[in-house]
Structure 1
């Protein structure tokens, strides 16, 4: 029996290297874990979605029988996954489950502040524009798809970014923005934004969701 496949998608200002530790943990748990490298710094996420589609098409061609792929994205990577499913519905039948890790599903407060008060920054780092709440709202709901969706949030706040948040957060993304109506299960872990996807415990919860469609079993 072949290993279950999971594709790991990094976030803003990162590369595939940022997901290598999670890849290691998932392999230890018996999964065929694959990292992808996407342009999530100087381009809006549409470009990353297009490249992700080409990447997945290659992987899909190698699937056997009714084999499917799980997608797990950290932060902005989760938005790439959501938009991919919306933009390419014919490919969604090859996707088993989706796990969104610290993904700002209703938009990011920090990106909103930077976009409104430091307009030159998003002109250079264009991915920031895609994280503004008004732009995230344009990503359609996944409600009605066959795909089970789980979301993991962190609640270890950052000292520097604390004034920007009015509620529980991981230093970059609020817990409230991770949780949204389309998800089937949700869990909050005691980690900050930069470590939540690099913890063995997170990998175990991801494995639980893949196997049982819920994080806690």
Structure 2
């Protein structure tokens, strides 16, 4: 478990949580609790991920999280995202700076798009089930992630899953994957650190190892890896 965030006369640090496609803030509740127990203010932001475009959602979701953080007069605003949530943060930061921006952790982000959308996106009922933004997450000419700049302006850590419970979707993916996104597709130029964990896309944010690694990155700017000699390490993950 990560150590509590040190108190500061300048105010607390805040973490904005952004859930993934067709999910709600409930999916991030465990992460929310552990961040709060570690001393962070937390804005677990709920947004309607199914009925608006990525362009619209980026402003709504990110600005809602920032506003919740600012109610606590925070000194830093971090982000931890699942799946689509990471693309919303990237889209927002490509257009607008965040003055108190701290670190960003993305869990299973489709940073290079997902071939699942390419293969299954036009099937009857897919958009109804997955939501409007899903069709913007492919790898073709209408892919929003592929239009976004690299992450050179902020500290970014990415956690990718390697276990799938969606064998049909995995057939569409060219690499090791989490059932929705390939490991390679989570990566982005400019990221500060990257790890793989043996969990699925759907439940990666609820796994204790992932939560511990997220807390560690927010505090230190890097993850815990095998053979690390970091004296502050409180984790011994199996990655």
For 2:109 and 2:200, locate their aligned partners in 1 and report how far apart those are by CA, in whole Å.
Answer: 13
User: Any conservation in 2 of the 1:76–1:103 contact (CA below 8 Å)?
Assistant: yes
Shift of 1:83: 0.8
Alignment of 1:133-144 (within 5 A): 133-134=139-140, 135=143, 136-143=145-152
Shift of 1:39: 2.0
User: Are 2:172 and 1:164 aligned?
Assistant: yes
Residue 192 to residue 121, structure 1, CA distance change in 2 (3 Å): closer
Residue 209 to residue 41, structure 1, CA distance change in 2 (3 Å): same
Unaligned residue ranges in structure 2 (runs of 5+): 1-6, 225-229, 231-239
Structure having the higher helix fraction is 1
User: Which of the pair has more CA radius of gyration?
Assistant: 2
User: Are 2:80 and 1:72 aligned?
Assistant: yes
**Length-normalised TM-score, structure 2:** 0.81
Residue 160 to residue 20, structure 1, CA distance change in 2 (3 Å): same
Residue 183 to residue 171, structure 1, CA distance change in 2 (3 Å): same
**Length-normalised TM-score, structure 1:** 0.88
Residue matched to 2:123: 118
User: Any conservation in 1 of the 2:162–2:198 contact (CA below 8 Å)?
Assistant: yes
Structure 1 counterpart SS, 2:81: strand
RMSD, matched Cα: 2.0
User: Any conservation in 2 of the 1:8–1:35 contact (CA below 8 Å)?
Assistant: yes
Shift of 1:120: 6.4
Residue matched to 1:152: 159
Shift of 1:137: 0.9
Shift of 1:61: 3.7
User: Are 2:202 and 1:202 aligned?
Assistant: no
Unaligned residue ranges in structure 1 (runs of 5+): none
Shift of 1:119: 6.8
Residue matched to 1:20: 29
2:196 paired residue among 164, 185, 188: 188
For 1:24 and 1:60, locate their aligned partners in 2 and report how far apart those are by CA, in whole Å.
Answer: 16
